[in-house]
Structure 1
Amino acid sequence: MKVYKTNELRNIVLIGGAKTGKTTLSESILFECGVINRRGSIEDKNTVSDYREIELERQNSVSSTVLYAEHKGHKINIIDAPGFDDFIGEVVAGLHVADTAFMVINGQNGVEVGTEINWRQTKAIHAPVVFLVNHLEHEKSSFEESLRQLKTQFGASVTPFQYPVNEGHSFNAIIDVLQQKMFKYPATGGKAEVLDIPADQKDKAEEMLNSLIETAAENDEALMESFFENGTLTPEELAKGLKLGIMNRGMFPVLCIAAKPNYGVDALLDFIVSYIPAPNEMPGRNTKEGKALNFNPADPASALIFKTSVEEHLGEISFFKVFSGEITEAMDMVNGVNSSKERISQMFAVAGKKREKLEKVVAGDIAAAIKLKNVRTNHTLNSPKTSGDVIEPIEFPAPKITMAIKAKNTSDDEKLGAALTELQKVDPTITVEYSKELKQIIMRGQGELHLNIAKWHLENIEKIQIEYYAPKIPYRETITKPAKAMYRHKKQSGGSGQFGEVHMLIQPWSEGMANQTEFPIRGTETYDLSWGGKLVFNNCIVGGSIDARFMPAILKGIMEKIEEGPLTGSYARDIVVNIYDGKMHPVDSNELAFKLAGRNAFKEAFKNAGPKILEPIYDVEVMVPGDRMGDIMTDLQGRRAIIMGMDSEGNYQIVKAKVPLAEMNRYSTALSSLTSGSGTYSLKFAEYSMVPGDVQTALLKAYEEQEKEEE
């Protein structure tokens, strides 16, 4: 492949809901550009994009696919993103490296849930958007209704650049408003016959063109002046105005296609080359230190790894976009995140399984490298001159579902750990950690489907049988009133024995509280507990009843019990411990004796200090269509939610609430059921709060039964 200059590159991402035809469109683009010589289909399981085993089985995309095409002296990098919200991380990564998003609309259904979800992602990063109304060959398709919905949902800046002449089963022609021509397609699809616009469409097409010219002029002052002076714009001025409008989200073009019969794809490719901005026409990207990378080939090289995949026979593949400079084969680079040295041994332009070797990749281009040693998604590769630069990373969405995971066969535990580590490399929206507190492996993802696909991978590719189950809730324990206790540890078994006696007063800790005044305080140690809250340890011993050298042992015993709370085994927090008296033995006292005495005295005092269980409370935002609000509110109240407020965004309502984590298990599934898939939500830890009395009683009972079973 020739080396394309930055201004000859176009980077696009195909987004939209499931079943809108993105993969079929990709297939037609590759066919039109000669990358493949035969178009595959989803039904025949032979498309370039959906080549992974799980995609062939499900007949839909679960991962984005990086593709390329060459058209009229330009290279078009294409990212075909999945349509289901569970794989939104693939969309987010694609949007961060593409320069324009092409939102594919099913002309039979108009604006769908996936359309709205993806739109919010484009809006968050101010990405240009072009709408492609697809499936116009179907009887139930309606371009006008789709256009109406797009304008209603996304505003007056939604602007048709084309419209179909005879959509439905007889669809084979498109009016191109810019060129004032009709494209008529043969039954086999492909290249259109370019004709004059029929007389009955002429007035409509001219009116739309005048509107386009006026809209284009509004994007630049000089163009506006030219428009007022001449009443129109030259073709060059029009192209400039349209490109500016697209770049600045002042205009969202609407084009017509029928991807399956291959109608409109040739015109789409021409549109991409003519009106979609090149990388160096778009804003650059900053490093964490604020240094701007503006796609200048003369600058030192910097590239962002935006996707990692593992392919049979090749191993790990790292997909990257060059934000400055040029990368050549056999070039030595430095990972800005971990300082590891990497040699770019081989680079490819990739179209699914098809790979074309590259000797050089310039600023703005997208390519893939193999055999990198210590590179992950969101890492930056730099030339040695700028080895410490780190490009601002992609912000992936926070997890929405949490499950505990374990291997069905304990002999697979080590293998499972390694497989989960590799899984996180490929999919950054999956997080896995071992919780020492819960004694579980915790796995988080974007939804139940997301985790089910991960399960399929572990069982079918890694050959590890696993099971998901509800994770334990990380409760906390605390006290509500002061209490005293003493404990004497005494053990004699021949020779020297063990003796230690500890008297303590414990009380609740709160910010700004006055320390107890019942006993003189000789020394205070305050500990910020790693799981939240504090422990204040006061030495109130007078007269030497306990030697100072035994105080660390007492503290150690208390810490052990705090890590295994007396009520449910959960971490305890926010407690002041005052050691005010005790006894020693000149021979039998030792650190172990006082550790055990301190541990048991704390346990007794805790039970008499009005112990309470705290539960994690999360801030939850639920976005749903207005007509589903009643169902959502009822469901949230059934989950012990406290409604904090409501807001609106377009046709959607946003409910803000505080909800106990214990009530959010499988909420993504419930929300999808209540809203027919149109609802989304986010959650973020807010605070710990005391559980209601009936909940605490149930938790204590469950813990007692669990302990009996383990005895």
Structure 2
Amino acid sequence: MDAERIRNLALVSTTGAGKTSLAEAMLFSAKAVSRLGSVDEGTATLDFEAEETKRKLSITTAFHPLQWRKTTVQLMDTPGEDNFVGETKVALRVADSVVFVVDAVDPVKPQTLKVWSMVRERGLPAVFFVNRMDRERASFDAAVETLKEALELRLVPVAVPIGAAESFRGLVDLVRMKAFLAKDDGTVEAAEIPAEMAETVQELRGNLVEYAAESDDGLLEKFLEGEDLTPEEIVQGLRAGISGGGFVPVCCGAAVRNIGASTLLDLVVDFLPSPVDRGPVTGRDPKTGEEVTREPTAEAPFSALVFKTITDPYAGRLSVLRIFSGTLRPDGNLLNPNSGATERYGQVLSLEGASQKPVEAAGPGQVVALAKLKETATGHTLCAPEAPIRLEFVELPTPVLSYAIKPKSRGDEEKIAQALSRLQEEDLTLKVRRNPQTRELIISGMGQIHIDTLVERMARKFGVQVALSEPRIPYLETISTTKKGVIYRHKKQTGGAGQFAEVHFDISPLPRGRGFEFEEALVGMNVPRNFVPAVEKGLHEAMESGPLAGYPVVDVKVRFYDGKSHEVDSSEMAFKIAAIQCFKKGVLEARPKLLEPIVKMTITVPDDAVGDIIGDLNGRRGKVMGMKPGHGFQVVEALVPLAEVQKYALDLNSLTAGRGTFTMEPAHYEAVPPNLAEKIVAAAKAAKEEG
């Protein structure tokens, strides 16, 4: 397939703008599907997962190609919900252009700036689509002005609505100077431009021509000399301006009524770039590390990026890849430079919503899938074995919300591990780890909706029912002062051989982070040296569960300087028991204290929310370490006890109306305030008594 006739397109938005409805309208207009799918009715081709149908929102990126004016448009319908922003970021990595869908009544929502910044970071040409023009209070002009101000864009209307709200019935295409009116059967028909709009349309058309002319020196000269630009020249100029980022076109419609979809497809074909227009892809030679390029042609050596993995208990594993160069045909071998493996594959599959269709060949710009690759994961490159190249992936957002997870049924431990492993292959923003101290299995995700859908998918796809709980805080215990001359005698006589051991310790605190030190300082032969390893082993065992609340003991030095033994009743076990009890006695006498984990937080919030955020952090025993100004936002750096921010993602959303983001990483341990320590110790003892 000619790469010039490919448009690789990501549809992005924030929640509720009607992005998937627009994708459904585009598919219907192009006759790629036989009926207009509806998100509300659960019949959408692209929202086919059970969790998507239930929530009426996109959770994963869905794919479907369509044909429009002899051009293949590869649609990628990305999630708008912030919990699944990782899916959107990955799709933008492999897209050539973007349609950004906004709501006509509320065009700039809390996450609009975040999503738009991701588009700009990738340098992708874009078209804005003002959707839901049939809503009450819908205003195209107001929406355009709001977008201009909030995103600081040069927006140029390429279509304007005919009517608004209840009277909205079509639009005027300013490029072709035609009106398109909605019909009852969900299609549109060309019509004359309404007379009452003629003056406005001519003015906007003049602005459009001026934007087109300024993008090309030859066209500008012709325009300034007063000559009319041809429709082809207008398209040429607008395409150059859009690809160069000089301005962003904006059109409008009502997706659920299929108004505007065909005009948008014309804009996509005319104005947005092909893989050839985007130029060669750059990567690294996996052996030398040198930069190498691949031309986006069918004849070039093959290269593709695996940007998504789909797992299914029945159909198996699909690796979804975007082709950057070369041609992929069924039944061949590809090199994976990330794993070093040569992968054998069979069919090449085109993804069409929930179904897959075999294809005979696929080239630059196309998104296809290969089944059952053994050593290929998301983020890996596949390339021709004779021309190796390794393509970069993206840095994914860090999970912000964690839960302890366990199966509801005993015996499902193995099933839960397998299910989480499969889900991690699909979703790189899901993190799974086992806390060695609390022995809990912890899952971390991008928010509550993300975690909830993962739990639902585990039940539906893998038959595992799980329970979630707040993770236990990994507190530690230590001592505040030195205690010398701690003596413990272990003596037991129950008939037959007895047990006897006596140890003398000096116990002292170490600087934070030093862990444990053991010093053997025996003199004389009161304690045979062969019992020293048993003493040290007993100390390590005693440190696993401190006497204060049962948490591990850290930053302690024990000096073993004397003791007593019995030639018959002393044994390694006796000295181990004596060491354990002497250590516990000494810790309790050396003013023990609890330590809690402190995390470093980097919080990005709008300027108007900074005061609330700082006040909230102070209420969480946090320490603000600094602030960095940005354009319309502030970055707040703080140190906060982990116990105070386990569900901070939910609280930050509430404080900033969903506009704030944060990252969190372990920093160090600090002493728990005495009043809180008493409560923690009491709770730990109560839990122990309850078993």
Partner of 1:518: none
Matches within 5 A, 1:560-639: 560-584=541-565, 590-639=571-620
- 1:149 maps to a residue whose letter is T
Residue aligned with 1:428, SS: coil
Q: Distance in 2 between matches of 1:583 and 1:293?
A: 76
2:254 is the alignment partner of 1:273:
no
Residue aligned with 2:256, SS: coil
8 A Cα contact 1:293 1:324, kept in partner: no
Q: Distance in 1 between matches of 2:301 and 2:405?
A: 45
Matches within 5 A, 1:375-386: 375-385=376-386
Partner of 2:21: 24
Deviation at 1:225, TM superposition (A): 8.8
Partner of 2:397: 397
Deviation at 1:159, TM superposition (A): 3.6
Partner of 1:212: 211
8 A Cα contact 1:490 1:499, kept in partner: yes
Partner of 1:15: 12
- 1:402 maps to a residue whose letter is S
8 A Cα contact 1:345 1:371, kept in partner: no
Matches within 5 A, 1:40-59: 40-59=37-56
Change (3 A) 1:392 1:375: same
Matches within 5 A, 1:101-500: 101-177=98-174, 179=175, 181-187=177-183, 188=185, 190=187, 192-193=189-190, 199-213=198-212, 216-217=215-216, 242-243=238-239, 245-247=241-243, 249-282=245-278, 284-287=281-284, 289=289, 291-296=291-296, 297-298=298-299, 300-311=301-312, 313-385=314-386, 390-484=390-484, 485-491=486-492, 499-500=500-501
8 A Cα contact 1:182 1:197, kept in partner: no
Q: Deviations over 1:369-396 (max 9, x none)?
A: 2222343322333443467x65333322
Deviation at 1:181, TM superposition (A): 1.4
- 2:315 maps to a residue whose letter is L
Residue aligned with 2:67, SS: strand
Partner of 2:690: 709
Residue aligned with 2:164, SS: coil
- 1:304 maps to a residue whose letter is L
Deviation at 1:80, TM superposition (A): 0.7
Q: Distance in 1 between matches of 2:86 and 2:36?
A: 28
Matches within 5 A, 1:647-662: 647-662=628-643
8 A Cα contact 1:619 1:684, kept in partner: yes
Change (3 A) 1:305 1:599: farther
Residue aligned with 1:361, SS: coil
Partner of 2:668: 687
Deviation at 1:42, TM superposition (A): 1.8
Q: Percent identity?
A: 33
Partner of 1:526: none
Residue aligned with 1:438, SS: coil
Residue aligned with 2:318, SS: strand
Matches within 5 A, 1:638-677: 638-677=619-658
Deviation at 1:83, TM superposition (A): 1.6
Deviation at 1:298, TM superposition (A): 4.9
Deviation at 1:302, TM superposition (A): 3.4
Deviation at 1:628, TM superposition (A): 4.3
Deviation at 1:235, TM superposition (A): 7.2
Q: Deviations over 1:26-83 (max 9, x none)?
A: 1111122221122121233211101222222222222221121122332221111122
- 2:308 maps to a residue whose letter is K
Q: 2:89 aligns with which of 92, 96, 105?
A: 92
Q: Distance in 2 between matches of 1:418 and 1:60?
A: 27
Partner of 1:514: none
- 2:311 maps to a residue whose letter is V
Q: Distance in 2 between matches of 1:588 and 1:290?
A: 71
Partner of 2:515: 534
Further displaced range: 391-400 or 616-625: 616-625
Q: Distance in 1 between matches of 2:566 and 2:142?
A: 90
Change (3 A) 1:123 1:577: farther
Residue aligned with 2:328, SS: strand
- 1:266 maps to a residue whose letter is S
Change (3 A) 1:62 1:602: same
Deviation at 1:194, TM superposition (A): 6.9
Matches within 5 A, 1:70-85: 70-85=67-82
TM-score normalised per structure 1 = 0.86
Change (3 A) 1:491 1:100: farther
Deviation at 1:20, TM superposition (A): 1.0
Q: Distance in 1 between matches of 2:345 and 2:114?
A: 37
Q: Distance in 2 between matches of 1:19 and 1:500?
A: 73
8 A Cα contact 1:406 1:468, kept in partner: yes
Deviation at 1:507, TM superposition (A): 2.9
8 A Cα contact 1:173 1:182, kept in partner: no
- 1:378 maps to a residue whose letter is G
Further displaced range: 222-231 or 161-170: 222-231
Change (3 A) 1:175 1:411: same
Q: Deviations over 1:113-160 (max 9, x none)?
A: 232332233344444433211112333211111111111111143443
Q: Cα RMSD between the aligned structures?
A: 3.2
8 A Cα contact 1:613 1:690, kept in partner: yes
Q: Distance in 1 between matches of 2:93 and 2:2?
A: 21
Change (3 A) 1:479 1:127: farther
TM-score normalised per structure 2 = 0.89
Q: Distance in 1 between matches of 2:214 and 2:565?
A: 90
Change (3 A) 1:313 1:455: closer
8 A Cα contact 1:483 1:605, kept in partner: yes
8 A Cα contact 1:293 1:323, kept in partner: no
Residue aligned with 2:215, SS: helix
Q: Distance in 1 between matches of 2:324 and 2:212?
A: 33
Q: Distance in 2 between matches of 1:125 and 1:600?
A: 62
Deviation at 1:337, TM superposition (A): 3.5
Q: Distance in 2 between matches of 1:49 and 1:117?
A: 24
Change (3 A) 1:238 1:500: farther
Q: Distance in 2 between matches of 1:231 and 1:654?
A: 51
8 A Cα contact 1:568 1:700, kept in partner: yes
Q: Distance in 2 between matches of 1:618 and 1:244?
A: 48
Q: Distance in 2 between matches of 1:362 and 1:605?
A: 73
- 2:595 maps to a residue whose letter is L
8 A Cα contact 2:407 2:413, kept in partner: yes
Q: Distance in 1 between matches of 2:525 and 2:391?
A: 60
8 A Cα contact 1:407 1:464, kept in partner: yes
- 1:267 maps to a residue whose letter is T
Deviation at 1:413, TM superposition (A): 2.8
Q: Distance in 2 between matches of 1:191 and 1:408?
A: 54
Q: Distance in 1 between matches of 2:241 and 2:265?
A: 19
- 1:534 maps to a residue whose letter is G
Change (3 A) 1:704 1:138: closer
Deviation at 1:450, TM superposition (A): 1.3
Deviation at 1:312, TM superposition (A): 7.0
Count of residue pairs brought into register by the alignment:
681
Q: Distance in 1 between matches of 2:590 and 2:214?
A: 72
Change (3 A) 1:474 1:706: same
Structure 1 gaps of 5+ residues are: 512-531
Structure 2 gaps of 5+ residues are: none
Deviation at 1:16, TM superposition (A): 0.9
Change (3 A) 1:207 1:614: farther
Further displaced range: 256-265 or 457-466: 457-466
Q: Distance in 2 between matches of 1:245 and 1:593?
A: 84
Change (3 A) 1:264 1:570: same
Residue aligned with 1:429, SS: coil
